[in-house]
Amino acid sequence: MSALDSLYQQMILEHAKSRYGADLPADAPAVPGQPGTGQSHQLNPVCGDEITLQVQLDGGSVQAVRWHGEGCAISMASASVLSELAEGKSPAELLQVMDAFRTVMRSRGKTAPDEDLLGDAAAFAGVSRYPARVKCAMLSWVAAEDALRQAVSTA
Amino acid sequence: MPVSLPPELQKPGGAVLTNAEVLRIRNDFPILHQQVNDHPLVYLDSGATSQSPSSVLEAEQEYYEQRNAAVHRGAHTLAVEATDAFEDARATVAGFIGAAENEIIWTGNATGGLNLLAYAFSNASTGPVPGTAGRFALGPGDEVLVTEMEHHANLIPWQELCRRTGATLRYIPISDDGTLRLEEAERLITGRTKVLSFTHASNVLGVINPVEVLVALARAAGALVVLDACQSVPHLPVNVKDLDVDFAVFSGHKMLGPTGIGVVYGRQELLNTLPPFLTGGSMITRVTMEQAEYLPAPQRFEAGTQPISQAVALAAAVRYLGETGMERISAWEAELGQRLVRGLSGLDGVRVLGPGTGQERIGLAAFDVAGVHAHDVGQYLDSQGIAVRVGHHCAQPLHRRLGLVSSTRASTYLYNTTDEVDQLVEAVGNVRGYFGATDGVR
Ligand SMILES: Cc1ncc(COP(=O)(O)O)c(C=O)c1O
């Protein structure tokens, strides 16, 4: 596999196109106002990439992660994978996945991903070797962590 | 004082540059001869920062090895030699743009220069500074005019100046082809316009703005003219007296020089009545515990220890450019620019920003690849050793106007060959296929 292909794994390119969860209306109100729902907007000032992401809790677990955003294949795929992965997890479980993802992303390729825990998100391990792209992969995760905390506090 | 280019910088051009000549030029640039990601480096990001020939690197080293000392003070031999080198550099750079020595102020970069001007106007606005003129003062009812294509460096300092003084910021809009709407400029430049600040050549669109037209409108309205010459002085023959602007600003690192040095040109009679921005040592005549009197320009704007080795190296860069000939460089880059536009706009799903094929542009082209984000385009090109810039290129309002968040930009210089342009075009042609953007999904 070429270095480029190990960055843009097939899994990532597919998620970048299918964009699971990318059905949050672009005009979603900034504060959704429903109990158990949190929303966060994140911007990457370097490239202007943006994401608005909503976490909805129901009965102690994540019912849905919905988002809209504009960005590169890495950031869009990352949001897609995250949305799929989060569904049905308890907040504590999701935070554990987030921690694991962050650790891998900061490792510059030195930490092997725990595939059981990270699922499709393990495909992003290759991104950690490209420091300029780590922010792209992290954008939706930062938004999700923020939105999750809000959702928990209003549930 | 009449100013003319020193003979060694005049070079009437000689033969046009050719690929053979460019290959010889490339030998002077050590950094270009390396492999990146197992491919020979193709450096197409000189619009962001350019590379330096050995003569520039050696000039800086020679300064530190032979003459390093504090300038303008001390009577020892090294201090005298350092001062001579520093002031010779000023004369060389002044000659390069047709200015007088005392019309050249050193700053850290172009951004520092634009802020120097905006803050000097601000200081003129908040109270009379002894020995300076009121003509630079702005207040409610006054206007500062920029364009829709400005780099943030030539936008935000004016936004902030307007916020501090109560003046209003306006902008000249662009047409879809990236040229300025001159009928709007005519309407917007009025007696209320105190400052007109615009870029000579756009770092995104590649257009060269009609300086004469805008200066004539500004003169008729009594407005001061500031020229962002960041993308023109490195690439085109520029004579500030012929252009008749009041101020011009550019950066050393974009013209074969080192980082850490920028230049403000200002007409002498203006500089000597403009309040200083940074104050402190080296810029004063007489200081009491209560107040100070300031030296004439340029020293009144050069508080504290200056970028001396950088000035010396920038002078070496200017000599290199002068010896090659700015006419030849601009003609070569115009050819590369046309080749870029022709090649890129011939590709499916690729939209070149700014003027189309055959229309005037400097040697750069920013473009959008349908269905592929600029970051991914840049990453793909980097895997083939091709260095380009991706993102908004510090021009968010311009990208918004074009319906984009970001773009990819290839920018050339005197050391780029037509082969390199062709390699870029070929690689861009494969980008959509790699990312699966050609199969209609998304
Ligand atoms: C048109 C233009 N203006 C201003 C700047 C700012 O230059 P610097 O970052 O060297 O201050 C740049 C460079 O990015 C530019 O291209």
Query: Which tens digits make up the pLDDT trace of B333-380?
Result: 999 999 999 999 999 999 999 999 999 999 999 999 999 999 999 999
DSSP string, B248-303: EEEEGGGTTS-SS-EEEEE-HHHHTTSPPSS-STTSEEEE-SS-EEEPPTTGGG--
Burial level of B24, CB count in 10 A (0-12/13-18/19+)?
Answer: exposed
Contact list in A for residue B36 (CB cut-off 8 A) is: none
Q: A4–B380: do the CB atoms touch at under 8 Å?
A: yes
**Whole-number Å distance between alpha carbons of B225 and B242:** 14
The chain A residue lying nearest B369, using CA atoms, is A72
The total of other beta-carbon atoms located within 10 Å of residue B166's CB is 12
Half-sphere exposure of B170 (CA within 13 A, CB side): 20
* 3-state SS, residue A46: coil
Pocket test for ligand 1, best of B197, B203, B207, B233 (most atoms within 8 A of CB): B203
Residue with tokens 């920018």, as numbered in its chain: B411
Segment B390-410, tens digit of pLDDT: 999 999 999 999 999 999 999
- With CB atoms and an 8 Å threshold, state whether A72 touches B373: yes
**Residue B394 designated active-site:** yes
Q: Which of B341, B386, B390, B394 is catalytic?
A: B394
Query: Does residue B220 sit at the A interface (CB-CB below 8 Å)?
Result: no
pLDDT score at A32: 64
Tell me what pLDDT residue B441 has: 40
Residue B176 · residue B219 · CB < 8 Å: no
**Nearest protein CA to atom 14 of ligand 1, as residue:** B48
pLDDT in tens, B274-331: 999 999 999 999 999 999 999 999 999 999 999 999 999 999 999 999 999 999 999 9
Q: Which residue of B has its CA nearest to A14?
A: B436
Inter-chain contact B375–A72, Cβ cutoff 8 Å? yes
Which of A97, A94, A76 has the alpha carbon at shortest distance from A12?
Answer: A76
- Residue among A13, A71, A74 whose CB faces B436 most closely: A13
Counting Cα atoms < 13 Å in the Cβ hemisphere of B331 gives: 13
Looking at the structure of chain A, the number of domains it has is: 1
Q: Decide if A53 contacts A79 (C-beta within 8 A).
A: yes
The enclosing domain of A34 has a CATH number of 3.90.1010.10
The answer to whether the CB atoms of A8 and B441 lie below 8 A apart is no
Q: Which residue of B has its CA nearest to A2?
A: B383
Is the distance from CB of B361 to CB of B341 less than 8 angstroms?
Answer: yes
Taking the centre of ligand 1 as the mean of its atom positions, its distance from the CA of residue B293, in whole angstroms, is: 33
The pLDDT tens digits for B98-116 are 999 999 999 999 999 999 9
User: How far is A79 from A22, CA to CA, in rounded Å?
Assistant: 8
Residue B111 alpha carbon to ligand 1 centre in Å:
7
- Phi first, then psi: what are they for B299, rounded to 5°? -60, -30
- Put simply, the answer to whether B379 touches A130 (Cβ < 8 Å) is yes
Helix (H, G, I), strand (E, B) or coil at B147: strand
Contact criterion met (CB below 8 Å) for B131 and B293: yes
pLDDT at B45: 98
CA–CA gap between residue B113 and residue B155 (Å, rounded): 13
ipTM: 0.91
Residue linked to tokens 């940074």: B278
Measure Cα distances from B235 to A32, B5, B201, B320, B341 in Å: 52, 17, 10, 13, 18
Q: What's the pLDDT at A26?
A: 87
Walk me through the domains of chain B, giving residue ranges and CATH numbers: 7-52+325-431 (3.90.1150.10), 60-322 (3.40.640.10)
The domain in which residue A22 lies consists of 3-154
Nearest to B442 among A3, A17, A48 (CB): A17
| Range 374-413 of B in CB contact (< 8 A) with A | 374-376, 379-380, 383, 390-392, 396, 399, 405-406
Query: Given a cut of 70, is residue B442 above it in pLDDT?
Result: no
Structure tokens at B364: 């750069």
- For residue B154, report the distance from its CA to the centre of ligand 1, in Å: 8
B359 DSSP assignment = S
Q: Would you state the pLDDT for residue B4?
A: 45
Q: How does pLDDT run along chain A (155 residues), one tens digit per residue?
A: 788 999 999 999 999 999 999 999 988 887 667 889 999 999 988 777 899 999 999 989 999 999 999 999 999 999 999 999 999 999 999 999 999 999 999 999 888 999 999 999 999 999 999 998 999 999 999 999 999 999 999 88
At residue B97, what are phi and psi to the nearest 5 degrees? -110, 15
Question: Average pLDDT, whole number, for chain B?
Answer: 94
Give the integer Cα–Cα distance in Å for A114 and A100: 8
Q: How many CB atoms lie within 10 A of CB B16?
A: 12
Which of A3, A8, A47 lies at the smallest CB-CB distance from B406? A47
Position in ligand 1 atom list of the atom nearest CA B251: 10
Amino acid B8: pLDDT: 46
Nearest by CB to residue A47, choosing from B37, B375, B434, is B375
Query: How much is the pLDDT for A39?
Result: 95
Q: What is the pLDDT of residue B9?
A: 47
Q: Which chain B residues are closer than 8 Å to A7 by Cβ? A: 379
Q: What is the mean pLDDT of residues B185-214?
A: 98
**Cβ atoms within 10 Å, residue A63:** 16
pLDDT at B240: 98
CB contact under 8 A, B391 and A72: no
Residue closest by Cα to atom 15 of ligand 1? B230
Q: Which of B45, B50, B251, B389 to mutate to test the pocket of ligand 1 (most atoms within 8 A of CB)?
A: B251
